[in-house]
Structure 1
């Protein structure tokens, strides 16, 4: 039987929309985008916490083929990213393909019918010739399993489910977590609450944020002369790659860049926090880049305010009206905010159950062996399947670099299918193994293996101790290989309908 769709895309964030745009370019219009939320935008729809903003320069954090000349700031607030997502969906007519409030429970390759069967909660499954998962890297929130948390009598809010109606004014609040989200959130909520206690497991490296309003005249110039915005994008991308990516991934060759970034972060803290003891508690004891660093000009000064308290002792238990730490200190609170990040390696890779040829379970196979994906997009034993948020796929600092390189890979692969009149593809074991070996060797030059990452508690590392998210090459290399990978790396067959 012919499948219902040529393709199913899981996820209506920027990754899923990029995949949809590429399918449209290829002349494939019979596809559906399944999204569990009630609207598109992915993380920029789900996250609405105070202070939300992109932590990569806005001019870089967008599709290169669909620039937005009207960013209000160098680091745009989250609401502008959501509006940009809406604009992209409207321009490329994507909403007609989207089904919201649709929870995909899993997908199974039907060997006899040569198509995918996608299970959906509460309704009949759908079938598709091709399956593309675009569920993002940070889509499965981590809820800490703290003793007594279910007994807390006050308000609990996770940053991915922010309650806009809840008034923080005058509250005694606690926030657990000091990652990139908390760095944005803490200064904002500190302005409203009566008391704020920040529970820190691991300090974060923070460097100055050169964030300015983009004048209307500059926005008009970008709109009228797109080449000027392209030049700004190229400059921003190049500087970020040189200063940040090289410092992390090419630690062996340019260790001085890593040390320079660390010195900048230390100087930034010293300039904002006079108290030596407080600086000591906020200073990471791992190398710069082991855990994702971030930018902020107001995070550190927040801790100098009299009603803001930093707690570094581990949490022993949560009581109905308080948090008790291992040293016996008890802090009364009425509001508990969880900035505890996401669970990548246990439930996000993949975010749904995917069963390939011969019953291979992708998540189980990854966890029992090694996390791997050829060029960050395809896996042996999983025909007609592309995983767009996968091991070794994240290239550069901007997620859009990853998205567009994967779009290019899709284009080359599907055009070859069309040229041959074929309907199935599967990456070879040989090509996958060679790519994995090459990525592993290159990561040997990174700060993850040559620096001091012990105690960083970084989500970059999986259960096997491998930093398997980032692609340890330049973005130029990622794009070049996406457009020129050997076609013989895939087994291509079948007859198109």
Structure 2
């Protein structure tokens, strides 16, 4: 079997999972391009105070690499980053990674059926297969608020936390109340002189069943691995039930809303504040969050919640539409990510020089979230419609990696060929999931799962079990296999010498 050359962009959970699966399948000609200076992706970049995962760690880990030494059920950023470093180190993946490499363009060459990648340093890298593992939550989004550039103090996004800024005694304005804000606000409020939190919409928040794992837990997890697998299975089952509630049976989603309201009532006694913190949209329409510290923090004497819309930012603070100027020395944006701009800012060109942005002009789409017609030998991890409203994305990444490894195996058996999804198959697939998404809870409000036209481009409308079953192995009838122009299409070719990665 020939060894196709494979380029992976990104060394976070996706890139590491993909490299492990390719290695398992017997492929060794792998290069991972990472723009940062370490593995880890979002867990390397998001270092804000309190950064943690909202999926329990026994499930938020690679199934073939369980970790009996998690410090707590919902692990924090340093532990997750250490885990990824450990996995990459133990499996000798670091030698595959080229750090400090930013990909600017990727172009498919129909004469050779290979991909040409260009970097910010004008380097050219060629390979048979291109896999993108850049994630959906990797590009911070700053709000288009008039006057943002006129602010005289320090200002930064939570995903680009400025640890040189001392918040002690400062007047801190936090814009945004999403998943990051509910983690860092409780951490910084005690040190701030005054913290003003600007809320556009209140999040649904559930209790967080966190706990510290003791030495006893670690000993049991190591000596009886079935206990770690058992906790993983239990968490998986709970999330599968929640997913069905979000997609198919909204009464169960309403039950989650009852639990969230009870949580709010227990932690906030002031009726005015409680009313301001009560969401006005269906439970689950936006990401439901977990916290036991967020609500109590908002009852502190040095914390103000502002629900009036922001009119503009001025040099010395934030002015709301009621005319009030809220003084600030520091502004922190907890405003999320450009989640619907898949693969941006890279320029990707497929057959005939077609830009991926043009192919996705009506919203990103891909068969199984992995591949798009017209872009042969290009495979995506965490691509369109593979985000989860409930559950662990690692489970999805592993399913995708196995599917992609199967496609690469086809290429190894047919040297020089190109594989792409049949356009009609992709269209029918996307029509079907869009119909299902139209009936989901995510269609009932504005959220980051939808693009500017309202199309839900991010979420998978089903359970991870359904996704794994669908991606278990590639179906030959779903794909077109074409040879180089000089050879007959769809014909297994005799093994030839491998074309390895070439840089120039």
TM-score (structure 1 length as normaliser):
0.94
Partner of 1:87: 86
Cα distance, 1:231 vs structure 2: 1.1
Name the residue aligned to 2:459: 470
| 1:455-489 residue CA offsets vs partner (Å, 9 max, x unmatched) | xx310111231222122122122111211442221
- 1:168 is displaced (CA, Å) by 1.1
Ranges in structure 2 where 5+ consecutive residues have no aligned partner? 484-492, 499-504
Does residue 57 of the first structure (1) align with residue 61 of the second (2)?
no
Q: CA shift at 1:247, angstroms?
A: 1.8
CA distance in 2, matches of 1:123, 1:94: 25
Decide which of 417, 420, 433 is 2:427's aligned counterpart. 433
Q: Distance in 2 between matches of 1:94 and 1:75?
A: 26
1:420-463 Cα distance to aligned partner (Å, 9 max, x none): 556321111121112112212322431123xx42xxx3101112
Distance in 1 of aligned mates of 2:83 and 2:257: 34
Aligned length: 483
Alignment of 1:81-160 (within 5 A): 81-160=80-159
**Over residues 295-351 of structure 1, what are the superposed CA-to-partner deviations in whole Å (9 max), with x where a residue is unaligned?**
000101111111100111111121211111111001111111111110122x33444
Q: Give yes or no for the alignment of 1:318 onto 2:313.
A: yes
User: Where do 1:379-398 residues align within 5 Å?
Assistant: 379-395=372-388, 397-398=391-392
- 2:356 matches 1:372: no
Contact 2:243 2:462 in 1 (8 A): no
SS in 2 for 1:157: strand
Q: Aligned partners of 1:199, 1:370: CA distance in 2, in Å?
A: 30
Shift of residue 5, structure 1, vs aligned partner: 7.8
Which residue in 2 is equivalent to 1:210? Answer: 209
Instruction: Kindly indicate whether the alpha-carbon contact (under 8 Å) linking 2:4 and 2:408 is maintained by their aligned counterparts in 1.
Output: no
For residues 447 and 350 of structure 1, what CA distance do their matches in structure 2 show?
Answer: 27
The CA deviation at 1:391 is 1.1
Aligned pairs for 1:475-490 within 5 A? 475-490=464-479
Q: How does 1:27-426 map to 2 (within 5 A)?
A: 27-242=26-241, 244-250=242-248, 254-345=249-340, 347-366=341-360, 368-395=361-388, 397-421=391-415, 423-426=417-420
Residue-by-residue CA offset, 1:173-202 (whole Å, 9 max, x unaligned): 001100000000111110110100001111
| CA distance in 2 between partners of 1:190 and 1:43 (Å) | 24
Distance 1:484 1:127 in 2: 27
Deviations 1:75-97 (A, max 9, x none): 01110000001011011111111
Q: Is the 8 A contact 1:5 1:127 kept in 2?
A: no
Task: Name the residue aligned to 2:450.
Answer: 461
Distance in 1, Cα, partners of 2:111 & 2:412: 22
